[in-house]
Amino acid sequence: MDGIVRKASRVRLTAVQRSTFAACFLGWSLDAFDFFLLTLCLRSVAAEFHATLPKVAEAIFWTLAMRPVGALLFGLMAERYGRRPTLMINVVSFSVFELLSAFAPNLSLFLLCRALFGIAMGGEWGVGAALALEVLPPERRGFFSGLLQEGYVVGNLLAAALYGLLFPHLHGTGLWTPWRVLFMLGALPALLAFYLRFKVDESPAWLATREAKLQARLQPADQRDALRSNRSPVWRYLPSLLFLALLMTAFTSFSHGTQDLYPSLLEHDHYMKPGTVGLLTAIGNVGALAGGIVCGTLSERWGRRRTIIAAALLAIPMIPLWSGSSTIPLLALGGFLMQFMVQGAWGVIPAHLNELSPGPMRAIFPGFAYQLGNLLSSRNGVVQATLAAGLFGGRLSPVLSRTVIVVALVVAGLTALGREAKGRSLVEVTTG
């Protein structure tokens, strides 16, 4: 296994490919960084606006709820105007809305800013993944898919590091309230737009399609009519979109179902102190990072579906270590292995979704399906907490353990029903 990863990581990329992947990876990481700053500052925001925690937590819901809008909007822009300029606009947009959040004078305007941030956040993953995977060599797509997806984990770790290192030393008031300062720093990703402008080229797939459309317009009228008659109407793609959205609902339930309330499980069920909870969460994130890269790479040999199914099903045997252990070392091992499997399955997703998506809709389909899944699973934590309170006296271990069993089986089953499209060319010319 280590040999496969080393071989994939040593593949030589051109300067353009390296710059493109770096830009897309940083875009996703910094997008996640801005999102997780909010989750870390919820109590501080609530204190600033004299609001309850549940009311401020609505900002997370609105961010998630608006992400499908952004995926559709920016996806349409990427198909019409190109991946690179759309990604530049997207990066600037989520940075600006992060900055505006820092200056919100009341909770209502803060929630509005977070909803607008959600639109921008929803557009980054789909456009960035399409640009990166259309540029990178197809024989190493699995490795880079896993690495790209874990930009989300890197963003989480960056936000936690900034919060832990800087927040305790901030003591300002008014506009210099600590959480506002962090949100101001969250606007720095806008600088990535300059890198995109000068170091990243447009997707060859999009350029080929644009050239084909220009050539088609120069054809005689009867030939143009014949080309139009061969176009696939958008509604023909609807079954594929619905399947991918259902698949991503299962996937987002898999990740959020094992991550969102796990710190609360450690505190409530195992009486862990905040420092220990933070350490165990960080260890789980390291496992997630490793799992995404390793399983993404293995999918080049085993296939996308087989790798996802194996990782999902192997999460089930990790449950006793993950939620039932009585010592810190065993809980750390369980957290590492659980997130290795969960994010191992996730690491295949950027490549798998792009390979399953129709060429004319590639900048739209993966991101829109992904964000629809986020929307449909956005109340997952509320359901888990309600079940724990109503059935198990507040204990989260039984609920989260059952969540893993059910969702892992659903992920494996839906993946088995789908197609295998490993290695499919993403440079497809269409005049539609």
In sequence order, what DSSP letters do the residues of 410-423 get, joined into one string?
A: HHHHHHHHS---TT
Distance CA 364, CA 367 (A): 6
Model pLDDT, residue 10: 57
What the block records as the tokens of 111 is: 């929630």
Pick out the chain residues at pLDDT < 70: 1-11, 213, 215-235, 359-360, 425-432
Distance CA 125, CA 149 (A): 9
**CA separation (Å) from 122 to 3, 10, 125, 234, 366?**
35, 32, 7, 21, 11
* Residues 344 and 258 sit within 8 Å (Cβ to Cβ): no
Which are the contacts of 230, defined by CB distance < 8 A and separation ≥ 6?
Answer: 432
Assign domain 15-137+145-202 to its CATH superfamily.
Answer: MFS general substrate transporter like domains (1.20.1250.20)
Model pLDDT, residue 145: 87
For the stretch 386-400, pLDDT in tens is 888 889 988 889 999
Q: What are the domain boundaries of the chain? A: 15-137+145-202, 238-420
For the stretch 263-281, pLDDT in tens is 888 888 898 887 788 788 8
How crowded is residue 247: how many other Cβ atoms within 10 Å of its Cβ? 24
Model pLDDT, residue 400: 93
Model pLDDT, residue 415: 96
Whole-model pTM over 0.95: no
Q: Which CATH class is domain 238-420?
A: mainly alpha
Model pLDDT, residue 6: 53
Helix axes 204-217, 221-229, angle to 10 degrees: 140
Residue 67: alpha-carbon gap to chain centroid? 11
